[in-house]
């Protein structure tokens, strides 16, 4: 990151709030603004959000009572026009309350509820203080991410009832769906309020499979936590492990070899391609066109067999390591990759032509599950769910990592053409269908361009001991969207705090808006087109 650009942003903030800021510094592409007074949180977060062209990326809470900092909350804002993340940092040393920023930054709502559940800190001003992560059987006075909470604690079940929202009126009925479903998917509860078949409200209830990943990571060694990161959501193993490794590499000031950067890119795009093709098959299934789904799932299977040939894992476990990668790509494997993606792409294009020729299929997708652009912006939606309404966000190009810096050069004409195409997108299932098709083609193109591998090693060495309490943000673009992994080191190369924010955590809330005014049978199609992960949400 150019120091002059960072200094310019720091100067803009200081010029407005020099009296409220205790300290301001920066490292890599991160600016840290420490506030003197918790009560200034709202005004400064609002200024950064509304005047500096940012979006809320995540909110991170840590229990730092061990280091006399109390509870620390970091509001992370992502610049939309520069490779910069701005951290607004407050410390709660004497009380368990903090001011909510929801009134101006709607995306903060779920993060604040998560902090309340996991740390017992109350966001004053948040209109919805119902439990989010911890369900109604969890005691009200136990907070899992406080350091005092022992991982081995046996929690006594409480009998309470979750207060779902009630929609009243003549002819309105409720349809509860789940949490246990007829298929093999994980549990999630969807409560529809309908008038006839028209959906007038949907409330989702998730976290039935909360795994305690962030708590498990505390005091783990770095390599142990790498295995954990791959298992957040199995179909995002490369994206999540890449983001985790990048966080540790930034803290350690490791520069990974160019060959490793290209290999990470290749596997990241293989992961994107097989998942997009699988989702397109799922859309075909839920639109009632089984033949198209079968053809697409055959192509997904071919790519997963390729994954296994390259890495030993169909879902690409074991590709990354801190400092680089474990898997090399030989000349023979290069040839196999090129042959397989050419074969898959040829068949893929034929299937897509066939699907687009079926008017009944296309009609089923058009104007179904529409997302409004303003709603997507307000809720901080990422990935295809954002791009399908013309919001041009993609971590591969907004914050280039691995080898994506090479693929980030577009002429002004290409930028303009991309903007025109973005503006045409209507936010419906058909738009998400089209975006996925385009991204499959892009992934295969990036793979081809990255196969010109450098000679040299696959990884750089990790320092024997990393300075405790250093922290950094790692990120990647999974097939669902941006995933963020923030790590604070502990003593003896252990992890003090590991905060994960996947694309699913951001995007699950948009489905409640996308289904409005659709009919109940549209829900599976809308749901599949968004391709959200229960496991990736229920950390």
**N-to-C CA span, the chain:** 32
Say which range, 124-128, 138-142, 405-409, 534-538, has the weakest mean pLDDT.
405-409
**Where does a domain end: 91, 124, 157?**
124
Q: For position 67, what pLDDT does the model report?
A: 87
- In this structure, what token pair is assigned to residue 352? 């897509």
pLDDT of residue 284: 97
More confident residue, 78 or 410: 78
**pLDDT for residue 398:** 94
CA 536 from centre of chain: 8
- Interacting residues of 31 by C-beta distance below 8 A, sequence separation 6+: 6, 9, 10, 13, 24, 25, 84, 85, 86, 87
Distances (CA, A) of 508 to 126, 158, 380: 19, 27, 11
With a cut of 60, say whether residue 33 has pLDDT above it: yes
Q: What is the CATH number of the domain that holds 100?
A: 3.30.460.80
Two tokens, residue 60:
């991170």
Q: Where are the strands (E) in 119-169, listed by range?
A: 122-124
Q: What pLDDT shows up at residue 481?
A: 97
CB 286 within 8 A of CB 520: no
User: Which residues, at least 6 apart from 492, have a Cβ–Cβ distance to it below 8 Å?
Assistant: 465
C-alpha 155/C-alpha 57 separation (Å) is: 32
Greater pLDDT, 416 or 507: 507
Predicted pLDDT at 219 = 80
Q: How confident is the model at residue 159 (pLDDT cuts 50, 70, 90)?
A: confident
Residue 184 has pLDDT above 60, yes or no: yes
* Residue 7: per-residue pLDDT: 64
Q: Does position 528 have pLDDT exceeding 60, yes or no?
A: yes
Per-residue pLDDT at 376 exceeds 60: yes
Q: Does 350 map to a domain?
A: yes
Peptide bond into 483 cis (omega under 30): no
CA distance 386 to 243: 20
Q: 177 and 224, same structural domain? A: no
* Confidence band of 199 (pLDDT split at 50, 70, 90): very high
Verify that 184 and 219 share a domain, yes or no. no
Q: Which of 167, 168, 146, 142 is nearest to 155 (CA)?
A: 142
Give residue 180's domain range: 172-205
Per-residue pLDDT at 417:
65
User: What burial class does residue 203 get, using C-beta atoms within 10 Å of its C-beta: 0-12 exposed, 13-18 middle, 19+ buried?
Assistant: middle
Give every CB contact of residue 301 below 8 A, 6+ residues apart in sequence: none
324 forms beta bridges with 321, 459
Q: What is the DSSP letter of 26?
A: E
How sure is the predictor about 191, in pLDDT bands with cuts at 50, 70 and 90? very high
Backbone φ, ψ for residue 165 (5° rounding): -70, 140
Confidence category of residue 5, pLDDT binned at 50, 70, 90: low
Q: Are residues 342 and 474 in the same domain?
A: yes
pLDDT band at 185 (very low <50, low <70, confident <90, very high): confident
Which residues, 6+ apart, have CB-to-CB distance to 324 below 8 Å?
256, 257, 260, 457, 458, 459, 460
Residue 162 lies in a domain: no
Helix (H) or strand (E) holding 115: helix 108-119
- Whether the pLDDT of residue 350 is over 60: the answer is yes
Does residue 227 share a domain with residue 344? yes
Give a yes or no: residue 147 inside a domain.
no
For the residues 39-58, what does the mean pLDDT come to?
95
Give the end of a domain, one of 87, 108, 124.
124
Q: How far apart are CA 68 and CA 46, in angstroms?
A: 28
Same domain, 184 and 292: no
When pLDDT is averaged across residues 322-347 and rounded to a whole number, the result is 97
408 and 276 within one domain = yes
Given this model, what pLDDT does residue 259 score?
A: 96
Mean model confidence pLDDT for the chain: 93
Phi, psi of 292 (to 5 degrees): -60, -40
Res 365 pLDDT > 60 = yes
What's the DSSP call for residue 158?
-
Place of tokens 């109940």: 520
Residue 159 lies in a domain: no
pLDDT in tens, 240-280: 999 999 999 999 999 999 999 999 999 999 999 999 999 99
| Confidence check: pLDDT of 6 > 80 | no
pLDDT at residue 426 greater than cutoff 80 = yes
CB 383 within 8 A of CB 480: yes
pLDDT at 423 over 80: no
Instruction: Give Cα 533 to chain centroid, integer Å.
Output: 10
Quick check: is 116 in a domain?
yes
Question: Can you give the pLDDT at residue 12?
Answer: 72
Task: Name the pLDDT band for 71 (thresholds 50, 70, 90).
Answer: very high
SS3 content of the chain, % helix, strand, coil (to 5): 45, 20, 35
DSSP 238: H
pLDDT in tens, 103-158: 999 999 999 999 999 999 999 999 999 999 999 889 988 999 999 999 888 889 88
Residues 276-294 have pLDDT tens digits of 999 999 999 999 999 999 9
Predicted local distance difference test score (pLDDT) of residue 408: 65
226-243 average pLDDT score = 96
Q: What residue ranges in 153-311 does DSSP mark as E strands?
A: 172-177, 189-195, 198-205
Query: Is the confidence at residue 391, as pLDDT, over 80?
Result: yes
The CA distance from 106 to 126, in Å, is: 10
* Per-residue model confidence (pLDDT) at position 422: 67
Phi and psi torsions of 226, nearest 5°: -60, -45
Q: What's the structural domain count of the chain? A: 3
Q: Which long-range contacts (C-beta less than 8 Å, at least 24 apart) are formed by 445-450?
A: 446/265, 446/269, 446/404, 446/407, 447/265, 447/266, 447/269, 447/270, 447/273, 447/337, 447/341, 448/338, 448/341, 449/406, 449/407, 450/262, 450/263, 450/265, 450/266, 450/269, 450/403, 450/406
pLDDT of 1 over the 80 cut: no
The verdict on 230 and 178 lying in the same domain is no
What was the pLDDT predicted at 269? Answer: 98
Residue 349 three-state SS: helix
Q: What is the pLDDT of residue 16?
A: 77
Residue 378 reports pLDDT greater than 60:
yes
Verify that 387 and 431 share a domain, yes or no. yes
Confidence of residue 2 (pLDDT cuts 50, 70, 90): low
Stronger pLDDT, 67 or 440, i.e. the higher one: 440
The domain boundary residue, chosen from 109, 124, 139: 124
Q: How confident is the model at residue 419 (pLDDT cuts 50, 70, 90)?
A: low
409 and 298 together in one domain? yes
Are residue 267 and residue 196 in the same domain, yes or no?
A: no
**pLDDT band at 94, cuts 50/70/90?**
confident
Confidence of residue 414 (pLDDT cuts 50, 70, 90): low
Domain shared by 346 and 391, yes or no? yes
Whether 132 is covered by a domain: the verdict is no
In a domain, 167, yes or no: no
Are 113 and 177 found together in one domain? no
Return the percentage of the chain with pLDDT > 90, whole number. 82
In a domain, 409, yes or no: yes
pLDDT of residue 66: 87
Which of 64-73, 224-233, 379-388, 409-418 is predicted least confidently? 409-418
């Amino acid at each position: 990151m150019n120091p002059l650009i960072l200094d310019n942003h720091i100067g803009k903030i200081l010029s407005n709030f020099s009296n409220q800021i205790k300290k301001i510094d920066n490292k890599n592409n991160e600016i840290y603004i420490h506030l003197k007074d918790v009560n200034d949180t709202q005004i400064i977060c609002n200024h950064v959000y509304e005047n500096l062209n940012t979006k809320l990326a995540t909110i991170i809470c840590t229990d730092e009572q061990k280091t006399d900092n109390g509870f620390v909350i970091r509001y992370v804002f992502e610049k939309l026009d520069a490779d910069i993340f701005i951290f607004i940092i407050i410390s709660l040393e004497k009380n368990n309350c903090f001011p909510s920023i929801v009134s101006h930054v709607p995306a903060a709502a779920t993060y604040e509820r998560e902090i309340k559940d996991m740390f017992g800190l109350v966001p004053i001003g948040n209109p919805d203080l119902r439990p989010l992560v911890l369900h109604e059987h969890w005691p009200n006075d136990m907070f899992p991410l406080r350091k005092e909470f022992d991982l081995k604690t046996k929690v006594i079940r409480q009998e309470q009832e979750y207060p779902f929202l009630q929609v009243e009126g003549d002819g309105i009925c409720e349809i509860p769906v789940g949490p246990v479903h007829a298929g093999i998917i994980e549990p999630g509860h969807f409560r529809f309020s309908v008038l006839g078949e028209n959906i007038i409200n949907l409330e989702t209830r998730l976290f039935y499979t909360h795994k305690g990943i962030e708590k498990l990571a505390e005091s783990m060694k770095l390599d142990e936590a790498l295995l954990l990161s791959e298992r957040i959501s199995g179909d995002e193993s490369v994206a999540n492990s890449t983001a985790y490794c990048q966080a540790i590499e930034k803290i350690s000031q490791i520069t990974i070899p160019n060959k490793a950067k290209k290999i990470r890119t290749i596997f990241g795009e293989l992961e994107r391609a097989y998942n997009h093709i699988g989702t397109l098959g799922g859309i075909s299934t839920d639109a009632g066109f089984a033949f198209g789904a079968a053809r697409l799932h055959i192509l997904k299977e071919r790519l997963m067999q390729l994954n296994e040939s390259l890495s030993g894992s169909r879902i690409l476990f074991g590709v990354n390591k801190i400092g680089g990668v474990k898997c090399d790509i030989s000349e023979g494997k290069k040839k196999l990759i090129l042959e397989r993606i050419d074969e898959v792409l040829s068949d893929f294009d034929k299937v897509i032509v066939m699907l687009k020729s079926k008017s009944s299929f296309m009609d089923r997708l058009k104007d179904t599950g529409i997302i409004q652009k303003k709603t997507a912006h307000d809720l901080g939606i990422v990935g295809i769910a954002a791009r399908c309404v013309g919001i041009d966000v993609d971590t591969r190009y907004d914050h280039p990592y691995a080898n994506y810096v090479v693929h980030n050069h577009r002429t002004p004409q290409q930028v303009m053409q991309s903007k025109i195409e973005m503006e045409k997108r209507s936010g419906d299932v058909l738009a998400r269908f089209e975006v996925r098709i385009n991204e499959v083609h892009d992934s295969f193109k990036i793979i081809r361009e990255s196969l010109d591998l450098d000679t040299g090693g696959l990884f750089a060495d990790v320092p024997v001991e990393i300075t405790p309490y250093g922290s950094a943000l790692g990120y990647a673009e999974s097939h669902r969207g941006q995933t963020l992994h923030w790590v604070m080191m502990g003593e003896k190369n252990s992890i003090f705090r590991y905060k994960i924010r996947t694309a699913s955590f951001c995007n699950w809330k948009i489905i409640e808006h996308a289904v409005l005014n659709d009919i109940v049978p549209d829900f599976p199609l809308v749901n599949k087109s968004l391709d959200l992960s229960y496991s990736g949400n229920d950390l």
